[in-house]
Amino acid sequence: MIELPVIEFDDLNAHMQSKDSFQSDLMVAEMDCHSVFTTESVRMNALQIVLLLKGALEISIDYKPYVVTAGTMVTIMPTHVVQLNTFSSDFKARILVTSRSFLEQASLQEQSSSMVHYMNIRKNPCAQLKPEEMQTLDNELLILRNKIRLRSHNLHRLVLQNAMRSFFLEIGNIFYDRKEYSAPPMLTRKEELLDAFLKLLFTHCKEEHVVSFYADKLFITPQYLSLILKEQTGKSANKWIDEALMQEAKILLKTPQSTVQQVADALHFSDQSTFGKFFKKHMGMSPMEYRKSS
């Protein structure tokens, strides 16, 4: 069975235009509406921290949509499914991208509990910052960018690791007293069920396509699950499952070496024909037509 494709650091680095990078480990770049290279669903094998300096965008992370405005920090963990849905014409951001290995080398171990705690939170990927907090983090990224340019420094990697530590310590300082990051959020029962459903969907959408599977896992009826999702998100359970499955399908179809039959098998459709009908119903074209257009 084929594996879901993942965009590696070097692939992302090759697409970025206004950037400074260090080997295959670290990059600081600027983004605007002209430098967005894809609006399709992708997975990236790197940590990304985006500071939205101007404009607005709508982004989906693990199938959950977020409206992001200027002054927001977005944290995208490795292997998250991400899709940039829309963005304003004045969109401008600064982005840090780091490989997993470099992140581990730059970790602060036991002294970084606040930073690590925040970086591991998947529930709050978009955080609104105060203007002075945004300025502090942006300054740290500019310092890091300047240090990347010190090509002749004998201890270049160590210098960059220290600059990374400084950046993450500033993040830790900002979120140290924020209750939503230092303590589990208080959720209503319906919000808890929504959160649990999204986690199940992220894990099982490729092989489980029916509402009853998710309802059984949550110990509720399919009807009640759909009612909660419709109330909380405006979309039924079937709609959530279909959209998640379509995003996985589009990611897989971008893999040149995979056949449509292999994609159908990876997504646990009974046969290629059933998969083709499902895809065309939601996309308006066949899987082969989509592959050619991509």
Beta bridge partners of 198: none
- Give residue 165's pLDDT: 92
Both structure tokens of 64: 């959950």
Contacting residues for 220 by C-beta, under 8 A, at least 6 apart = 193, 228
Contacting residues for 162 by C-beta, under 8 A, at least 6 apart = none
Burial of 189 (0-12, 13-18, 19+ CB in 10 A): exposed
- Give residue 33's pLDDT: 87
Q: How many CB atoms lie within 10 A of CB 287?
A: 23
What are the phi and psi torsion angles at 132 (to 5°)?
-70, -30
3-state secondary structure of 205: coil
**pTM listed for this prediction:** 0.70
Q: What is the DSSP letter of 148?
A: H
What pLDDT tens digit does each residue of the chain (294 aa) get?
Answer: 455 567 888 888 888 888 999 999 999 999 998 888 777 778 888 889 999 999 999 998 888 889 999 999 999 987 678 889 899 999 999 999 998 778 877 764 444 443 334 344 556 789 999 999 999 999 999 999 999 999 999 999 999 999 999 999 998 888 877 765 555 556 688 888 988 998 899 889 999 999 999 999 999 999 999 999 988 888 899 999 998 999 889 888 887 778 999 999 999 999 999 999 999 999 999 999 998 886
Contacting residues for 209 by C-beta, under 8 A, at least 6 apart = 241, 245, 268
- Give residue 260's pLDDT: 94
What are the phi and psi torsion angles at 67 (to 5°)?
-95, 120
- Give residue 234's pLDDT: 82
Whose structure tokens read 């400074």?
20
Cα separation, 258 vs 252, in Å, equals: 8
Cα separation, 247 vs 117, in Å, equals: 29
Contacting residues for 194 by C-beta, under 8 A, at least 6 apart = 228, 229, 232, 233
